[in-house]
Amino acid sequence: MTETLNLPVLPLDDVVVLPGMVVPVRLADTEARAAIDAAQASGQDQVLLVPRLDGKYAKAGTLGEIEQIGRLPGGAQAAVIRGTARVLIGAGTTGPGAALWVGATVLNEITDAQSAELAREYKTLITSVLERRGAWQVIDSVRQVNAPAELSDLAGYASYLSDAQKLELLENANVTERLTKLIGWVKDHLAELEVSESIQKDVQEGMEKQQREFLLRQQLAAVRKELAELDGSTASEEEDYRARVEAADLPEHVRKAALTEVDKLERTAEQSPEVGWIRTWLDTVLEMPWNERTEDSYDIREARAVLDADHAGLDDVKERITEYLAVRRRRADRGLGVVGGRRSGAVLALVGPPGVGKTSLGESVARAMGRKFVRVALGGVRDEAEIRGHRRTYVGALPGRIVRAITEAGSMNPVVLLDEIDKVGADYRGDPTAALLEVLDPAQNHTFRDHYLEVELDLSDVVFLATANVLDSIPAPLLDRMELVQLDGYTEDEKVVIARDHLLPRQLERAGLSAEEVSVEDSALRLLAGEYTREAGVRQLERSISRVLRKVTAKLALGEDLGGSVTIAAENLKGYLGSPKFTPESAERTALPGVATGLAVTGAGGDVLFVEASLADKETGATGVTLTGQLGDVMKESAQIALSYLRSHGAELGLPVGDLAERNAHIHVPAGAVPKDGPSAGVTMTTALASLLSGRPVRSEVAMTGEVSLTGRVLPIGGVKQKLLAAHRAGLTTILIPKRNEPDLEDVPASVLAELTVHPVSDVREVLDLALVPAQVDAHQYAA
């Protein structure tokens, strides 16, 4: 049965009092003082404790018994009030004093069969929370409470519950529902406590580790300091970096960047990974020879003598280096010095077949100039960062190869050889040749910026030499930044000189022999160059010499009596190397009509190729042209043009062109396993077909090159010097070249031109007149 009471209201701001709680209430404000006075005036010593949250009164309150009125330790007056029951607030009434009086209905607690079970579970949970806090006295008090209603109202003391949650408990008279809510809230709180304790434990362990590490490092620093004092040095590592930077001879912009990094190093914790990055960067900068330069050798005659002594031939490169040194000397003599931040560096591209001395030429250039030499191998490089360096944020970042090369050289003006620049690749990591554009541009490389260093680097005084076998794979913008020097191979006389003066002494030393023990006659060297090795360079020639000397060494080791000093002559060369591999074959190949000798350029230099033509039987019914020999598209088109020209002009030339219309023409270019392309075989294909149709063989001593047009014009081609050198090596004596290529003959060595008869031609008719055996001469008689 519910009880109705008339009570003065004591509002509590942001506080919720549940039944069973004892709380002190300050009587500083008017409302609290009035409520206490009204309760005492009525003689019942009871007040209604009403929560007032956010300025709004709650619907329910707590019946409070005034137990004591007195003063707090600070002197303020207060009343101690015990909550006894939850009440439902009704309408306003009247009563003594200035307090607000309302009617209040006492709510009876509602329990059921689940209340006791929920109470036990809640007691276990609340005990666990109190154990975590170490509140053992409170745990004893909680264990003594068994009534479910009283146990649920103890939640009023819980600091982890909000006032809104406590108000829910106050307004709900159902004990089971209150306990259910409390169990959920306490479980959530326990989960938060576990997470918080875990985090706190990790933080505590981390702090202890940091403190331990800090202590150990301080002790280590103290030990180092003591040891340094014993050694007479007192500077720390950071102070040492600062001293090194200030003592180093650095350009002003580099010094500023280095001191900034030293400041950062001093502010950064020792355990930070950034410390290692900064130290590595500072070491790299301090190792760079920022103001180190070697003095160029201005003795021009001596420099040219060094180049001539190291390499036979290669006059173009020698002249270019001599010009460079002469200009440098004149500028120095006239005090011109550096202009606009740029010096007078050179960028040369040495392009030629393998074995002609491109790489070794770099060392000779450096020696002639009195500079340091460093080689950068670019073959197979696919990552742009190899040239420009990595950003410092990457793990294992390094400066680019250009910066590393200068560091290795120990000078800011070395000779840098960029070897095999035509073998540079490109993939998803970028195109290294694009990164070389700035490096090899004399107008830009005085402010080259490496991604790792991030400071300007002056490359304008560096002499860059780039080597390549072919031009086709070098991007045009990159090639435009370099001075192109073609190395087209050596003549037979030059090979003999190189073999005698350079290759033979080197191979004698490697074989453990002396010049007194073994001598090689020039005739043997000439035979080696002409018939045992047919190449633009001298690598195979050196291997052949090495093979001969190894056999001599082996015979001496086996105890054979070679009669004192061994002399290798042309007549006994076969005993060491067997029969020659390259013998003149043009006369044999061109003895039959339909075969013509052409000239081509490959990655290995100039070469001789034969074009063969034949006609199918009429019975096959096939017409057109069949092409074999791994020909490229351009070469296939040359064959089509040659066929079309003969079909339309065959009558004028006195050729039975009817066979071309009725029978299938087959053009083959040995060797079939080697890919071939280019337009320069056009006249050779035309001549081979004309020879086949006319029955007149091609002169065995004649070779030709040139592009042919549909009107019979002979158009210019490239690589004239390499082709003539190849023809000379093959023993051919009459060469047909396009008329417009006549100026290129100036590049051909005079000794080669003296042994060749070169006919500049402009029309296919001239080619046929010069190349084909005259009609009245029997082919076998001509061959004989």
Catalytic residue list: 680, 723
Q: Which residues fall in the annotated binding site for ATP? A: 352-359
Burial code (b: 16+ CB inside 10 Å, e: under 16) for 603-620 equals ebbbbbbbbbbbbbeeee
The helix/strand count (H/E) of the chain reads as: 29, 25
Amino acid type, 349: A
Euclidean distance between CA atoms 421 and 464, whole angstroms: 12
Closest CA to 241 of 283, 269, 303: 283
CB-hemisphere CA count at 13 Å for 186?
23
Residue 372, Ramachandran bin (φ over 0: left; ψ between -120 and 50: alpha; else beta)? beta
Cβ atoms 736, 705 nearer than 8 A:
yes
Q: Which amino acid is at 371?
A: R
User: 36: helix, coil or strand?
Assistant: helix
- Asked if the bond preceding 671 is cis, omega within 30° of 0, the reply is yes
Strand pairing class (448-449; 456-457): antiparallel
Distances (CA, A) of 108 to 84, 85, 152: 12, 8, 15
* Nearest C-alpha neighbor of 289 from the set 445, 411, 447, 446: 411
Token digits of residue 384 = 């742009």
Q: Which two tokens stand for residue 588?
A: 């044999």
Distance CA 738, CA 720 (A): 10
Distances (CA, A) of 73 to 70, 76, 266, 370: 10, 7, 54, 97
For residues 72-100, one letter each, b for 16 or more C-beta atoms within 10 angstroms of the residue's C-beta and e for the rest, the string is eeeeeebbebbbebbbbbeeeeeeebebb
Q: What are phi and psi of 83, to 5 degrees?
A: -75, 130
Closest listed residue to residue 643, CA positions, set 661, 619, 670? 661
- DSSP state, 429? T
- Token match 């207060």: residue? 78
Q: How far apart are CA 204 and CA 206, in angstroms?
A: 5
**What is the distance between the alpha carbons of residues 53 and 99, in angstroms, rounded to a whole number?**
20
